[in-house]
Every structure is written in structure tokens, then in C-alpha cells.
């Protein structure tokens, strides 16, 4: 599985900043482009969402995304429009789309993006944890470093998730076995050490520094 990707298209730097900040809570890798570059960026790409500053005349930009979809693209469309455009607004029929009016909250933009990208199973902001270059999606059991997926086994992910969601507290090997492996696990506590080593190797040198060993006690995740 991979991180969702989105194009943010606007000629206004303040609008781009608002879009970017609104989507920062989601498990999305964003690229900012000028509206004039949408067609070129969509050609042959795997972009899954296009957030377009459509202004008062969004039809042309919406049509570009619709054409890309008709040619084999799979991008969803989220239009940001001026209130004056509502009377004549017609969403394209050949691409999954939605809109919101300029001046709406960042939370609304994020909610509409979630509904387009994860219909029926949207990941809420509380289910995505970001620490430096790390993104941990608790809803989909996915983790990324700088947008690159980490290939954890189930128990590696479960151990890592437990520590990250209980930061700045030391847990002994015995407690981790009970909380992650379950009360019916009868293996030795050193299996925790093995899984921690594997997790650290996959996190890389920078992020793995947060997963600390407390001598003669156990492990903690430093937030």
C-alpha cells in the first residue's frame, strides 16, 4: 500500500498555504502546482486528488481533470470556488468530485478530501501521527519515512504503534509482551529486543534515535 498523493493548484501563495496546512493532518503527499500546469502533471501520473482553486470560473480547470480521468487517470477533484460561482456551478460527471466555497474552514477542506480519498472509511486527524519525517496511520496500519512506506510485519508494527501512542514512558519487556503479544504468549522476553532491533533498522538512523533503550528496564518512545 502507498501514501495518497495530491496536487494543490492555485496561483495564490496564501491559498496554497491554506490548502497545504489543511491537508497536513492527513496521510497525503502533496505537490503544489500552478493551474496552468495541471494537465502536464496529471499526464501519466498516479495522482489521486486534485485540489483546485477554481475562483469565479472553475469550469475550465474542472474540465482538465475530467479529461484526464476519461483518458485513464484516477484523480478525484475538489474545487474551491468563489461564492459568486455557485449559481452556475456544474460539477463534472466523469470524475468523482466535490466543492467548497472560499472562506470555508481548513477542517472542512480536510473532511471533504478524506471523503473523496477514503469513502466510507476516512482516516481522522486523530488516526494519523506525524513526528519529523515519520507518518504513522493508525487506521490503515501503514508507516512512512519521508513518504516511503516501511515494510513492517504485523508484530513489528503493533509494537511500534504501542510505543508511539504511549510516548515518554518506559515499558518493561514483560509489559510489552503482555500488551502487544497477549497474555497467552509463552515465549521469552528477549523476543521484544529482536523486534525492537528490526523496527530500528527500518526506521533509519535519525528516527530510530527516538526509540530509546532504558538499561535494565525496557524501552520508550521519545516524542
Give the domain ranges of the chain. 4-122, 127-221
Q: Would you say residue 69 has pLDDT above 90? A: no
Task: Tell me which architecture the domain covering 4-122 has in CATH.
Answer: 3-Layer(aba) Sandwich (3.40)
Q: Indicate the length of the chain as a whole number.
A: 223
Q: What is the CATH number of domain 127-221?
A: 1.10.10.10
Residue 126's CB is within 10 A of a number of other CB atoms, namely 9
pTM value surpassing 0.75? no
pLDDT grade for 211, boundaries at 50, 70 and 90: very high
- Express each pLDDT in 78-111 by its tens digit: 999 888 888 888 888 788 889 988 888 888 898 8
Q: Could you give the count of Cα atoms lying within 13 Å of 174 in the half-sphere of its Cβ?
A: 2
pLDDT grade for 52, boundaries at 50, 70 and 90: very high
93: alpha, beta or left? (left if phi > 0; alpha if psi -120 to 50): alpha
Same fold for the pair 4-122 and 127-221? no
- Per-residue pLDDT, averaged over 44-65, amounts to 85
- Express each pLDDT in 112-167 by its tens digit: 888 888 775 544 445 778 888 888 887 777 888 988 889 998 889 889 988 998 88
Helices (H) and strands (E) in the chain, counts: 8, 12
Amino acid at each position: 500500500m502507498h501514501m495518497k498523493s495530491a496536487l494543490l493548484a492555485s496561483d495564490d501563495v496564501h491559498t496554497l498555504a491554506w490548502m497545504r496546512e489543511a491537508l497536513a493532518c492527513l496521510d497525503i503527499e502533496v505537490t503544489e502546482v500552478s493551474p496552468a500546469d495541471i494537465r502536464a502533471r496529471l499526464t501519466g501520473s498516479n495522482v489521486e486528488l486534485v485540489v483546485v482553486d477554481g475562483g469565479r470560473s472553475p469550469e475550465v480547470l474542472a474540465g482538465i481533470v475530467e479529461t484526464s480521468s476519461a483518458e485513464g487517470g484516477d484523480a478525484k477533484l475538489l474545487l474551491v470556488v468563489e461564492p459568486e460561482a455557485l449559481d452556475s456551478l456544474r460539477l463534472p460527471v466523469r470524475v468523482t468530485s466535490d466543492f467548497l466555497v472560499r472562506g470555508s474552514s481548513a477542517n472542512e477542506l480536510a473532511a471533504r478530501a478524506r471523503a473523496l480519498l477514503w469513502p466510507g472509511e476516512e482516516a481522522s486527524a486523530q488516526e494519523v501521527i506525524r513526528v519529523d519525517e515519520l507518518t504513522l496511520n493508525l487506521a490503515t496500519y501503514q508507516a512512512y519515512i519521508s513518504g516511503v512506506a516501511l515494510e513492517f510485519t504485523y508484530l513489528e508494527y503493533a509494537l511500534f504503534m504501542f510505543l508511539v501512542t504511549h510516548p515518554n514512558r518506559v515499558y518493561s519487556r514483560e509489559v510489552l509482551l503482555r500488551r502487544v503479544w497477549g497474555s497467552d504468549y509463552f515465549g521469552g522476553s528477549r523476543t521484544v529486543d529482536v523486534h525492537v532491533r528490526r523496527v530500528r533498522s527500518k526506521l533509519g538512523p535519525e528516527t530510530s534515535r527516538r526509540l530509546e533503550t532504558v538499561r535494565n528496564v525496557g524501552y520508550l518512545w521519545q516524542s
